[in-house]
Structure 1
Amino acid sequence: MENQSRALPTAPVRLAGQNIVLREWDDTDIPALIEMYDDPEINRWTPVPSPFDEDAARAHLGKAGEARAEGRRVQLAITADGGQPQGEVLIWWDDLDGRDIELAYGVGPRFRRRGLASAAVTVATGYALQHCGARRVLLRIEVDNAPSAAVARSAGFAPTTDEPIAREAKGRRVLLRTWCHGNGEPAP
């Protein structure tokens, strides 16, 4: 596998499709970010701190801004129309194979079961393949996370035969199954 360091574009990103708009975060989004991430399901499946308060939100946006400026990660708010954030999608070059992009996502409790996560993953996948030159787009989903697996399937991802990846999250060992979109060929 190749593990080369690649940078993502550092210019602002705004993506639209699937009846959603993915846009950059700003400081006015802190209340929505707190509402979204201070949730038991987000706490259960993500490395985001809990409780998620104003300090955690400011730290989250600060780290996102630093990673963005360095071309390491793009974090976009999931919105219906560019307004109120309803979730988040993250985009970064995979640590195990620098030709692949990995995505992660979360949707606030009030906005679940509306297809937002699937739409965001679909739009972000198109961006990764068409504008970043990713060979494949990957999701790494905790083995028992059935809702996230359903999102992956609805966005056109399929589980790979790769061995689950063990990671440490919040003091516990988690096993992540790799899901893939793309045929392994570079984007045209």
Structure 2
Amino acid sequence: MENRLRTLPSDPVRLRGQRVLLREWDEEDIPALVEIYDDPEIDRWTPVPSLFDPDAAREYLRKAREGRAEGRRMQLAVTTDGLEPKGEVLLFQDELDDRDVELAYGIGARFRRQGLAAEAVVIATEYALRHLGARRVLLRIDAANVPSAAVAASSGFQLTADEPVERKAKGRRVLLRTWCRHS
């Protein structure tokens, strides 16, 4: 594998779909970040710490900006109006093959089951394939996370035969299955 770093753009990004607009986070979004991430389902399926209060949201935003400035990751608010965040989608270079981009996403409890996650994933996937030159876009999902697997399938991703990827989060070992979409 070639060891090159895919640098994400430093300019602000706004990506629009039919109903969803992905945009940069800002300080005014702290209350929305708290609502989105201080949630038992987000806690269950993501590495984001629970008891997500305004201080945790500010730290999360600081780390997001740091990762963006270093070209390592892009974290975008999922909105329908360009204003109120309803969730988040993250793009980052895959740790196993730097030709690939991995996505992660989460939607706040009030906004689930509206198709927002699937549309946000499609928008971010198209951006990664067309503008970042990704060979493949990947989702890594716990086998028990049925809603996320449904989002993956409805977004055109296919489950691969790859060995599960082990990650450690919040003191526990998690095995994630790989879903893939090619250009």
TM-score range with shorter-chain normalisation? over 0.9
- Tell me the CA shift for residue 18 of structure 1: 3.0
Per-residue CA deviations over 1:138-171 (Å, capped at 9, x if unaligned) read 0000121100000000000000010001111111
- The equivalent residue for 2:19 is 19
User: 2:159 — aligned with what?
Assistant: 159
Deviation per CA, 1:109-139, whole angstroms, max 9, x where unpaired? 0000000000000000000001000000000
Check the 8 A contact 1:3/1:95 in 2, yes or no: no
Partner of 1:173: 173
Q: Which amino acid aligns with 2:42?
A: I
The amino acid that maps onto 1:77 is A
In the other structure, the counterpart of 1:186 is: none
Residues 84 and 30 (structure 1 numbering): CA distance in 2 closer, same or farther, change over 3 Å?
same
Aligned to 2:122: 122
Please state how far the C-alpha of 1:2 moved relative to its aligned partner: 3.8
User: Does the C-alpha gap of structure 1 residues 148 and 3 become closer, same or farther in structure 2, counting only changes over 3 Å?
Assistant: farther
The aligned runs of 1:29-178 (5 Å cut-off) are 29-178=29-178
Runs of at least 5 residues in structure 2 that lack an aligned partner in the other structure: none
Q: Give the whole-Å Cα distance in 2 for the aligned partners of 1:150 and 1:24.
A: 26
SS in 2 for 1:179: strand
**SS, match of residue 31 in structure 2:** helix
- Measure, in 1, the Cα distance between the counterparts of 2:2 and 2:20: 34
TM-score normalised by L of structure 2: 0.98
> Aligned partners of 1:13 and 1:146: how far apart in 2?
30
CA-based RMSD: 0.9
**For the residues of structure 2 that align with 1:5 and 1:84, how far apart are their CA atoms?**
33
- Counterpart residue type for residue 51 of structure 1: L
**Distance in 2 between the 1:76 and 1:178 partners?**
22
> What is the CA–CA distance in structure 1 between the aligned matches of 2:26 and 2:164, rounded to whole Å?
35
What TM-score results when the alignment is normalised by the length of structure 1? 0.95
| In structure 1, C-alpha distance between the alignment counterparts of 2:170 and 2:18, rounded to whole Å | 33
Q: For 1:21 and 1:74, how far apart are their aligned partners in 2? A: 15
Distance (whole Å) between structure 2 residues aligned to residue 153 and residue 18 of structure 1: 19
- Could you say what secondary structure the match of 1:75 adopts? strand
